[in-house]
């Protein structure tokens, strides 16, 4: 019985020690993009946003809030170290974004169908990009594109 009590005491001590240690910070990849494990739902997206460095974190929060407000019931995931937004639980996806050193790049998977078409061209025929630098987000235009994009057939990735 003394041995059982000793094992229980060690487990309790280990749990308390683990609880006191700060959670490991996500690794930042090139350009400051957070490395977040693949996952579905709001929690991994919020973990990604919380790990974004500097002014881009506020922009990430703003983009997420605008997307949620514009597309009620939007589904979220983190795939390939980027948040994805879609109309169904595991896709199809209409939008994603990714952090770079000096901007956040928003990917519209059916961007050539948006009006007006976002200016950032891609080697993929239908994809268009929007590079947002500090202080440059046009909320009205962004929300218009998000609404249009959410109503188009999404991309299964």
pTM score, whole prediction = 0.82
Residue 104 and residue 33 in contact, taking contact as beta carbons nearer than 8 Å:
no
Structural domain containing residue 64: 28-150
For 99, residues 6+ apart whose C-beta sits below 8 A from its C-beta are: 31, 32, 33, 34, 52, 53, 56, 60
Residue 3 lies in a domain: no
Vertex 129: Cα angle to 124 and 130 (nearest 5): 175
Q: The domain spanning residue 74 has which CATH number?
A: 3.90.1150
- DSSP structure class, residue 34: B
45-63: pLDDT as tens digits: 999 999 999 999 999 999 9
Burial class of 135 by CB neighbour count within 10 A (0 to 12, 13 to 18, 19+): exposed
- The answer as to whether 13 is a domain residue is no
Residue 8: band (very low, low, confident or very high) from pLDDT cuts 50, 70, 90: low
């Amino acid at each position: 019985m003394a041995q059982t009590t000793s094992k229980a005491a060690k487990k309790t001590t280990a749990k308390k020690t683990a609880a006191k240690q700060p959670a490991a910070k996500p690794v930042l990849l090139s350009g400051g993009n957070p490395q977040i494990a693949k996952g579905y739902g709001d929690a991994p997206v919020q973990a990604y946003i919380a790990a974004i460095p500097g002014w881009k974190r506020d922009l990430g929060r703003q983009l997420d809030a605008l997307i949620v407000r514009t597309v009620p019931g939007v589904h979220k995931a983190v795939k390939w170290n980027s948040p994805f937004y879609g109309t169904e639980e595991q896709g199809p996806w209409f939008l994603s974004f990714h952090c770079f050193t000096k901007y956040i790049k928003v990917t519209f998977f059916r961007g050539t169908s948006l009006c007006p078409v976002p200016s950032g061209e891609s080697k993929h025929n239908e994809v268009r990009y929007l590079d947002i630098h500090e202080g440059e987000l046009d909320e009205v235009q962004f929300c218009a594109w998000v609404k249009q994009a959410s109503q188009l057939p999404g991309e299964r990735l």
